[in-house]
A and B are shown apart, each in its own frame.
Chain A
Amino acid sequence: MNALLPALTATARAAAHANPGTNCRCPDPDTVLADRADDAVVVRHGGVVAKAHDPGTDPAGLSLRLTVAARLPDVLLAPLDPAPVTVHGRQVTCWPYGTPVDPDTPWDAPWEAAASLLARLHRAPAPAGLPAMRGPAKAARAIRRLRMLGPHPAAGPVLRAWSALPAWARAEAPPPSARHLCHGDLHLGQLVRHPADTGPWRLIDVDDLGVGDPAWDLARPAAWYACGLLPPDEWTRFLTAYRREGGPAVPAEGDPWPALDVPARALTVQTAALAVVKSHTQGRELDEVEQAMVDACVRMSAVAPELTHGGAI
């Protein structure tokens, strides 16, 4: 890891300058955007972002995922080169820098743009051989982290809600029917404007992209709304924009919850599990927002998951 960061920075610098020997006058040179153990490391140099992918990344899968990004530049940020390079044993890709959503003003979040990009992604054809969308696998990983924690008062309801989910949502079986191109890890950190500041919004991070149930990509905002965290008007804006763009995850009219129920439960459970792990690691109680996710897990046990088609109460 210590050797990786300077090498990754050098990769970004080289990609940003045609002649790396010249004096660099880039604004914000060598900014570390992410550096998490056992996860991706991301650095920026001027107009270029270099990403060292998770050490467990499957090279063939990543290659296909990068091809999708290169083919859909109106939806996904396109890589500078769709072929990754290897740096200190890690697969590394370079991307143009785009401006992220300002974390200090999340109420300005581009919900319509996010929904419209997702609808277009879901309607695009998936290349042959593209692996499964990794949303359920990430939920299962969060549960493994919770189990490793040992006894915790909030673990019981979270694990109970998890065990009530169908096997596909726990990454133990393929998804039942819906096979669409999906992002797999949508949140507000996955949107950037490119060109920076003025360009249109694009989705980033193809590591979890794949085929699966497109409702998974709507399920995080759906879970936030269901847990009383996302205001109803913002949820409505997101859902309406998705439907307007012809997104296939939910019916065009009527109750979207028969389609959203299982993925939204899974993402609530995932978020609750990670919140329990995080609060425990930081030696503190769950805060109000984290508790809202655990409370939703408690309520889930009283109501069986909805069937995807029909099944509404």
Chain B
Amino acid sequence: MQCPKCHAPMHTYNRNGVQIEQCSGCRGIFLDYGELEALTRVEAQWAQPAPQAYPQQPAPPAYPAAPAWGAPHGGHGHYGHHRHKSFGHMLFSS
């Protein structure tokens, strides 16, 4: 993917399960639909003091670390189709 501003190549990074693209030239950041909200949510969770007596909501699931080339997590995973037949086969083959 190329930077819409300076046309240098953009590199993909994974931050707390949110996939972001950063330009290797001007360092600008590109966010897909919903990613700004996802980052804001993670930030708010980080900044919020721990609830004292009555926890209002369970924390959203924190995804384990994944590589930058990984699939976007958080609702996009193919495991949503619980065990696609083809993946079942893949689990057992070389």
Write the residues of chain A forming the contact surface with B, with a CB cutoff of 8 angstroms. 101, 103-104, 106-107, 109, 138, 185, 187-189, 224-232, 235-236, 239, 255-257, 260-261, 264-265, 271, 274, 287-290, 292, 295-296, 299-300, 302-303, 306, 313
**Closest B-chain residue to A256, C-beta based?**
B65
Q: Knowing A229-B87, A231-B77, A289-B86, say if A303 contacts B64 (CB, 8 Å).
A: no
B76 within 8 A of A: yes
- Please name 27 pairs of A and B residues whose Cβ atoms are closer than 8 Å in the assembled complex, sorted by A: A104-B88, A106-B83, A106-B91, A138-B94, A187-B92, A188-B91, A227-B78, A228-B72, A228-B79, A229-B79, A229-B90, A230-B79, A235-B64, A257-B65, A264-B67, A271-B90, A287-B84, A288-B84, A288-B86, A289-B78, A289-B90, A292-B71, A292-B78, A296-B71, A299-B69, A299-B70, A303-B12
Q: Which of A138, A257, A290 interacts with B86 by CB under 8 Å?
A: A290
Q: Flag if B86 contacts A228 (CB, 8 Å).
A: no
Encode contact with A along B1-13: 1 for CB under 8 Å, 0 otherwise: 1000000011111
Which size class do B's interface residues fall under?
Answer: 35 or more
Q: How far is the CA of A308 from the CA of B71 in the complex (A)?
A: 21
Q: Are B92 and A302 in contact (CB under 8 A)?
A: no
A-B CB pair tally, cutoff 8 Å:
112
Tell me how far the C-beta of A138 lies from the nearest C-beta in chain B, rounded to whole angstroms.
7
Taking Cβ atoms with an 8 Å cutoff, the residues of B that contact A are: 1, 9-13, 61, 63-73, 76-79, 81-84, 86-94
